[in-house]
Amino acid sequence: MRLNLILVLSLLACLTFSLAKDQRRPLARGRRRGVGPKRARKQTSNTELQQGRTAENNRQDGSIFIDSYKNTKEPKPEYDVAAGKTEHCVFRGITMYDKTVWSPKPCVNCLCASGEVVCDRILCPALRCQLKFQPIGECCPICIDPVVEAPEFSGDPPSHNDLSDPFTEISQSQRDKKQRLKKDEEERIRKKDAERKQRKKQKKEEAERQRKLKEAKEAREKEEELRRLREEEEERAAAEERKRRMEEQRRVEEDRARRLEMEQREMMRALEEAAERAQEGLRGDEATEDEDEVWLRGDVFQMPPVAPTRAADPPPLLAIQEPTEPSEEDHELGKEAPELDEDEPEVVEEESEMVTTLLPPGCSISDVTATCENAKLTGIPPLSIPELKSLSLQGNEIKTIPAGAFNGIPNLEWIDLGKNKIVSSGIDPQAFKSLKFLSRLYMDGNLLEQIPSELPSTLQELKINENNLKEIEENSFEGLDSLVTLEMEGNLLSEGNVNPKAFKPLSELTYLRLGRNHFRTVPQGLPASLLELYLENNLIEEISETAFNHTRNINVIVLRHNKLDESSIAPLAWINHRNLESIDLSHNKFYLVPSFLPKSLVHLVLAGNQIERIPGYVFAHMEPGLEYLYLSFNKLDGDAIEPESFFGTFNTMTELCLDHNQLTSIPMGINEMTALHFLRLNNNKIRHIAEDAICDPMNEDDSHLVAVRLENNFLDPRKIPPTAFSCVRSYSSVVLKPQRI
């Protein structure tokens, strides 16, 4: 406001100064040029025209009288009155006509009246304003208030003579002009202020709009960046999860492959031992040639030296666990750790003296793995190694697991507590609570009667084999929605003490082992995600139609060493399962190959039964067809196989094992199996081989037959037709010796 006031005062000062110069300019110009009578007359005329009026005579003798000059002291004349020229006046060397009015200096007006010069100072009106200002070159002050009141003069109102007085008219005209100029200036200033305010407001609005646009743009960019970072984080987490699952699946597959390989080796060893004993019974101490190794596919059976006999009472738990090969981590724990402990103790001490002092006797550490196997520990060692990932405490005498047992090693991912003396009551409910990354927990060979409670939700593999589990309650697996592998073999479980809802929380479970328990039926409530189920060495007598209703994706079922026969399997138990490819029914009580097998079946094991016949078309409904069939150690004889027994397998059969039976000839249909690789007919009663029994001379396609075993029969090699094995890729892979002659 103060700035605006100063600006207005400056503008008004300049304006009044300009007006004053304009008023003085004619007189100055006249003095310079020596204005004569004619020019003075013209100037007087012009002045009268500008004022709009002419001077009037107030007296009869023609003299002029100005009331305002009555009391004015006349200064000493500085001019001479020319004689004989009473109607003119001479002022400072300039001759003025009668009644000429001029302003010799600011605020003073002079009049030539009958040869006399009369001068009067201009009277200023009384101003009723608070702020007054006298412009440079002006006689009277002016108001600078926003509202200019009409001027009021002090004293008596002007008389008629005053109104007609030319000086009064000049003052009034100047005041009017100044007021108009002032109003115009104020209006212009108001307009400028309004325009400036409008521009300022627009500028402010534009700045505000730009600011909002900038903020919106920054917000969008920030949101886009956050969304991008979130997507990258989600993709990275998904990739890590996929990688973890693939690694876990690979580990599971490797473990299973190792187990299968061990079982296969055991089976081959048992077969070879049985063959050797049979040969020894026939030929005494005559030496026999070693059998060639035959490659078999899938989860094949373990063959005992003689056919097993099952007692009516429940069999006792096996004292010896099935041979399994340790995992990669077990190899590392079993090999690398002892080497560090025995061969390089100084290196361990140099690397971390503190860690060495914290480890109890008999323990060693390698990278992120600590091993305390068979160290005679009676409790969990108080370790404080946050970076530790794996801990093996196998083979000790640990009985309890307190609440803070793993507080110093919170990043553990794998714990092996196998072969200890841990009881269920000795495990604190909060013992595993702090392990947020635990994925594998092994507790085989302990004294547990219940599933430990409050296990971490990150757990993916849980092994509680060879314990005393007597009950699985509804909430035993609560919160284990990430569990993939569960093993509870060698316990006291049955359908009576396993709650049907116990497996419901296990939404990711794919691998379940319940062998060597007391089940008489397939457990109920199996999770829908299950892919492999192992129920060997139980007392299962029946498979109902609803046994596998919820496990539509199951791929492998192992039921060996149970009490099943062909009449105990319901027709609709698994025939419509589209993913069931492998079934092991070895060492049961089958007299016939069971009907209503799954349509998708690829691998069937029926060894160690009492099968006497293969019904016709029993494999005809399978799509695409059976590839691996193991019928070893049964009672198949010359009348056991019909012409249609292998119908449906001619284009798919890859491995066929009919050894250790009572066959007297090559079964019909074998020569039509175009995809056959391995054929086992050893240890039968075959006496002759027809020319087309194995190789079809009419078949011009290349054969895939790689190995044929016919030893321990009643064959005379000299009587075998030369073309009997023409389709075998190498004659060296045909085993004919020894024979029972």
Q: Which amino acid is at 728?
A: V
Dihedral sign, Cα of residue 166, residue 171, residue 174, residue 176? negative
Tell me, what's the pLDDT at 22? 55
CB atoms within 10 A of CB 697: 11
Query: What pLDDT, on a 0 to 100 scale, did the predictor assign at position 115?
Result: 80
DSSP state of 717: G
Average pLDDT over residues 131-145: 76
User: Measured between alpha carbons, how far is 255 from 558 in angstroms, rounded to an integer?
Assistant: 17
**DSSP, res 423:** B
d(CA 691, CA 714): 17
Sign of the dihedral through C-alpha 112, 114, 116, 121: negative
Query: In whole angstroms, what is the distance from residue 608 CA to residue 453 CA?
Result: 41
Is there a contact between 144 and 133 (Cβ–Cβ < 8 Å)? yes
Whole-number percent of the chain with pLDDT over 90: 44
Distance of CA 390 to the CA centre of its chain: 28
pLDDT value for 578: 92
Q: Average pLDDT of 245-261? A: 79
Q: How far is CA 535 from the centre of its chain?
A: 39
What is the reported pLDDT for 282? 53
Distances (CA, A) of 367 to 58, 337, 417: 132, 10, 20
Determine contact, residues 452/427, Cβ cutoff 8 Å.
Answer: yes
Helix and strand element counts for the chain (H, E):
8, 24
Look at the chain and count its residues: 741
pLDDT-derived band at 345 (thresholds 50, 70, 90) equals: very low
Percent of the chain with pLDDT over 70: 74
Task: Please identify, in words, the CATH class of the domain defined by 323-348+358-468.
Answer: alpha beta
pLDDT value at residue 68: 43
Q: What average pLDDT is seen over the chain?
A: 78
pLDDT tens column, 629-661: 999 999 999 888 998 999 999 999 999 999 999
- Report the amino acid identity of residue 577: H
> pLDDT tens across 259-274, in order?
777 776 776 666 666 6
Measured CA to CA in angstroms, residue 675 lies from 489, 600, 733 at distances of 38, 18, 17
Least confident of 227-231, 353-357, 734-738: 353-357
Listed residue (470, 353, 472, 485) closest to 414, CA to CA: 485
Quote the strand ranges of 126-215, DSSP E.
Answer: 132-133, 142-143
Mean pLDDT score, 272-290 = 55
What are the beta bridge partners of residue 513? 487, 534
List the beta bridge partners of residue 118: 111
Cβ(573)–Cβ(543) below 8 Å: yes
Q: Over the stretch 468-488, which tens digit does the pLDDT of each residue have?
A: 999 999 999 999 999 999 999
C-beta separation of 536 from 559 below 8 A: yes
Radius of gyration of the chain (CA): 62
Confidence of residue 21 (pLDDT cuts 50, 70, 90): low
CA-CA-CA-CA torsion sign (282, 285, 286, 288): positive
Q: DSSP strand E in 632-697: where?
A: 655-657, 678-680
Asked whether the predicted pLDDT for residue 69 surpasses 60, the reply is no
42 pLDDT more than 60: no
Tens-place pLDDT, residues 514-561: 999 999 999 999 999 999 999 999 999 999 999 999 999 999 999 999
Identify the pLDDT of residue 685: 94
pLDDT tens per residue across span 679-720: 999 999 999 999 899 988 887 777 789 999 999 999 998 899
Alpha-carbon distance 356 to 348, whole Å?
7
Look at residue 4 in the predicted model and tell me its pLDDT. 75
CB 466 within 8 A of CB 442: no
Burial readout 585-612 (b: 16 or more C-beta within 10 A, e: otherwise): bbbbbbebbbebbbebbbbbbbbbbebb
**Of the ranges 4-8, 124-128, 161-165, which one carries the lowest mean pLDDT score?**
161-165
The pLDDT score that the predictor gives to residue 615 is 94
Q: Tell me, yes or no, if the two domains 323-348+358-468 and 561-741 fold the same way.
A: yes
pLDDT of 163 reads 44
Query: pLDDT-derived band of residue 20, with 50, 70 and 90 as boundaries?
Result: low
Structure tokens at 643: 């012409």
Give residue 656's identity as a one-letter amino acid code: L
More confident residue, 297 or 707: 707
- Grouping H, G, I as helix, E, B as strand and the rest as coil, residue 462 is strand
> Pick from 646, 652, 605: which is nearest to 626 by CA?
652
Q: Spell out the domain ranges in the chain.
A: 2-187, 323-348+358-468, 561-741
Q: Is the bond preceding 624 in cis, omega lying within 30 degrees of 0?
A: yes
Q: Quick one: pLDDT band at residue 389, thresholds 50, 70, 90?
A: very high
Model confidence pLDDT, tens digit, residues 166-207: 455 556 777 777 788 888 888 888 888 888 888 888 888 888
Kindly report the number of other CB atoms within 10 A of residue 99's CB atom.
Answer: 19
Task: Pick left, alpha or beta for residue 50 (phi over 0 → left; psi -120 to 50 → alpha; otherwise beta).
Answer: alpha
* Residue range 578-591: mean pLDDT, rounded: 96
Fold of 561-741: 3.80.10
